[in-house]
Structure formats: structure tokens, C-alpha cells
Amino acid sequence: MAALEGLIEALRRLPGVGQKSAQRMAYHLLQHDREGASNLARSLAEAVAEVRHCQRCNTFTEDPVCATCLDGARDGALLCVVETQADQAVLERTGSYHGYYFVLMGKLSPLDGVGARDIGLPALIERALDGLVQELVVATGFTAEGEVTAQVIAQALRPHGVKVTRLARGVPVGSELEYVDLGTIAHAYADRR
Amino acid sequence: MAALEGLIEALRRLPGVGQKSAQRMAYHLLQHDREGASNLARSLAEAVAEVRHCQRCNTFTEDPVCATCLDGARDGALLCVVETQADQAVLERTGSYHGYYFVLMGKLSPLDGVGARDIGLPALIERALDGLVQELVVATGFTAEGEVTAQVIAQALRPHGVKVTRLARGVPVGSELEYVDLGTIAHAYADRR
């Protein structure tokens, strides 16, 4: 059963998939959805061959430069740093930001061996110092790793005279104060306006 | 981004994988494990091409007849019906069963549109009436679907004079009675010996 074992082993490499899930996936594909299995095989090969990083913002794209970076109507003085494309999509949906992006594709996580080079910090610094960028909006997450990443970026760019800002921390819209955690309340107080 | 979208769509067809998990898997493969992605593509294509059903027991195999069915040292008078290969593996590990198997690759589930033909019941009946089988041990699960499947199998084969038995229900080894559900206790009382 080399082929079935090999498939289960390959599925286990997916994040969040253990032995039992991998078995269930393999049985499902072979028993009920061989077309889905062939389709997944083709999609994987195609994505590996086609998907690369945007030369300007580091996001996934099939072209040398992604559509967002090619959008001439954006404000070149603003550069927003996000961890992932999903974070970028959320910011876009707010309709409140009209500059360009840099997608780290991760965040600093020394415990997991993820260093500055793995998340494209050198490329970000080069991009931020292109002479056009006046403000770098750091929109990494408000987790421990996201905060460290934001600090490292700020430390690297402030000496070069780039204004580095961070999304505001505060009480989420629609929240009762009673149910908001104390750290958030404390930050909302400190950043009151 | 057709290639990335296509990959996410293909991953969503895996059981238990929604939009967020599929995105996470696609990003992980493209960012951190392109070798794993290529490996998975190859394994899928190979499994779809190579894995078929055993002509005797219906399990997944790469040969016309699986190794278990070719094992001449087993007792041809005993045939055990299981839902999946995983169930078969558990029975094998007990070391208490030495006959052959028939793997349904599922269980009857009319609500999900899974009927007798989908789980190979006709092939099971043909196999059980080969003249050698004297006892059919039904080891489907003790769930609603597993019980119905067991009943349908028994009804189909008892008229042909095949002895049909079922694994015993009872208190699991190592259990305190206090923590065992009432249905199990009631069955254990009814099947007392």
C-alpha cells in the first residue's frame, strides 16, 4: 500500500492535519472524490510553478509586480506593513486606506526560528527608503510576535527619518466596556483623544 | 491570482477544511513548504492512478487482490465485516481474529444518500455465499448507522443459512460502572454470561 501510505504521509505535512485527519482525507478522496484529488494535484503543481512574490510588496502574485502595486491611483507617500494578504484584504475592505502595502508573509518569531530575513525585513527597509514613502503605517497584529515585529521595524526605520505609525489600540466598536480585557482598556485610556 | 485561488478552492474539497483552513494551508505550502506541495501533488496523482479496490474484500489495494486476502493461513470459514480499514487494523491488533475480512468502505446512511450499493453490500453477499464462509462476524460500529448496516446485512444473509454474529456490546475493560452510559449497562446486563 505504498501509494496510500505515501498520500497519507503527504497530507500530514499540511498545517493542522494529524494522522487521523490525513487518513480520513485520503479515504474520502479515493472513495468519494477522485476528481477532487486529481484537481488538487493539478492545482498544487500549478501554484508551485506560477505563484511567486511581488517584487515591490512581497505578496503572492503570478506577475513580477502585483495589481495593487501597479495601481497608480494610490498615494505613494503611504506604505502599510501587514503580516498577511488576509490582513491586507481587511484593511482594503475598510475603504479608509489608499496607500501601498508591504506584506511580510509572517511575523518575527524567534522561538520558531523565524528571523528578520524570513519575513522580508531587508526588502521592506529598502522599499521604505525609496524616497517617496513619508509614512510607514505598521499594521502587524497586536499579539506578542506582532508587537515585537512592529518594534523591530520602527527601530530600523526611524533613524532614516521615516515617520513610523502604528494602528491605534482601543475598545472595539460595539463593545461594552465591562466585557473588554483590562490591557485593552488601559491602552484605550493612554491613547485617549 | 487564479493559481492561488484555484489551490484554495481545491483544498476546500478536503473533508473538515473550510475557507480559513484552506487559505492557511495554501499560504503555508507556498511560503514554507513548496517541496511538500509538490510531494502532495505527486502522491495524489499516484494514489488516484494506483489505488483500487480488492476484488475479494473491497479494501484499498494496489493489486487485484490484497495481501490479507492472499494470506492462505487464515480461516476461510470466518468472514468479518468492518466499516473501514482502520477498524480492520484494530481487530488485527487484538490478535484474536484469524479469518478474512470484508471492508464496506462506509456504512448505510440514507440521510446522506449512502445506500446498499455504495457500501458494496451486493459484493459482500456474493462473497459470503461462496460456500466456504460459515460465520459472518458483523463488526460495524455501535452507532445508529452502524447498527442499521448490521441489521441489513443480517437480514440479507440469514435466509441463505449463513450464521451471522455481532461483536458483543458491554462495559469497556477498565471502566467503573458509575461512569458508563445507561444504554451500555442495559446491553451488558441483557448479554450477561
pTM beyond cutoff 0.80: no
Of the candidate ranges A157-166, A171-180, B37-46, the one whose mean pLDDT is the lowest = A171-180
> In chain A, pLDDT over 70 holds for what percent of residues?
99
Residue B138 has pLDDT above 80, yes or no: yes
pLDDT at B1: 64
* pLDDT tens, position by position, A121-145: 889 999 999 889 999 999 998 888 8
Contacts of B105 in chain A (CB under 8 A): 27, 31
Beta-carbon contacts of residue B46 (< 8 Å; ≥ 6 apart): A3, A6, A7
Cβ pairs bridging A and B (under 8 Å): 151
pLDDT at B135: 92
Kindly indicate the confidence band of residue A170, based on its pLDDT and cuts at 50, 70 and 90.
confident
pLDDT at A177: 78
Q: What is the DSSP letter of B18?
A: -
* pLDDT tens, position by position, B87-134: 898 888 888 889 999 999 888 887 777 787 777 888 999 999 988 999
CA distance A19 to chain B (A): 12
Comparing A108 with B9, the larger pLDDT belongs to B9
Q: What is the mean pLDDT of chain B?
A: 89
The residue count of chain B comes to: 193
CA distance A82 to chain B (A): 15
Comparing B79 with A110, the larger pLDDT belongs to B79
Residue type, B36: G
Which run of H or E residues covers position B189?
helix B182-190
Residue A41 has pLDDT above 70, yes or no: yes
Whole-angstrom distance, CA of residue B60 vs CA of residue B165: 25
Top residue of B44, B63, B107, B109 to mutate, by most chain A CBs within 10 Å, is B44
Chain-chain contact of A36 with B10 (C-beta, under 8 angstroms): yes
* pLDDT tens, position by position, B22-43: 999 999 999 889 999 999 999 9
Q: What is the ipTM, given to two decimal places?
A: 0.77
pLDDT at B103: 94
pLDDT at A116: 76
Whole-angstrom distance, CA of residue A11 vs CA of residue A23: 8
Whole-angstrom distance, CA of residue A97 vs CA of residue A101: 10
Which of A3, A11, A60 is facing B1, going by the closest CB pair? Answer: A60
Which of B34, B51, B86 is facing A4, going by the closest CB pair? Answer: B51
CA distance B14 to chain A (A): 6
pLDDT at B172: 84
CA distance B22 to chain A (A): 10
Whole-angstrom distance, CA of residue B162 vs CA of residue B133: 8
Question: Burial letters for B35-70: b for 16+ Cβ neighbours within 10 Å, e otherwise?
Answer: ebbbbbbbbbbbbbebbebbebbbbbbbeeebebbe
Chain-chain contact of B41 with A39 (C-beta, under 8 angstroms): no
Kindly indicate the confidence band of residue B190, based on its pLDDT and cuts at 50, 70 and 90.
confident
Whole-angstrom distance, CA of residue B190 vs CA of residue A90: 60
Question: Which of A104, A146, A98 lies closest to A123 in space, CA to CA?
Answer: A104
Residue whose C-alpha cell is 463593545:
A175
Mean pLDDT of B156-176: 86
Chain-chain contact of A10 with B40 (C-beta, under 8 angstroms): yes
Mean pLDDT of B61-79: 94
Helix crossing, B19-32 with A34-50: angle to 10°? 40
> In chain A, pLDDT over 90 holds for what percent of residues?
54
pLDDT at B169: 81
Residue B2 has pLDDT above 90, yes or no: no
Contacts of A9 in chain B (CB under 8 A): 43
Chain-chain contact of B29 with A41 (C-beta, under 8 angstroms): no
Residue A1 has pLDDT above 70, yes or no: no
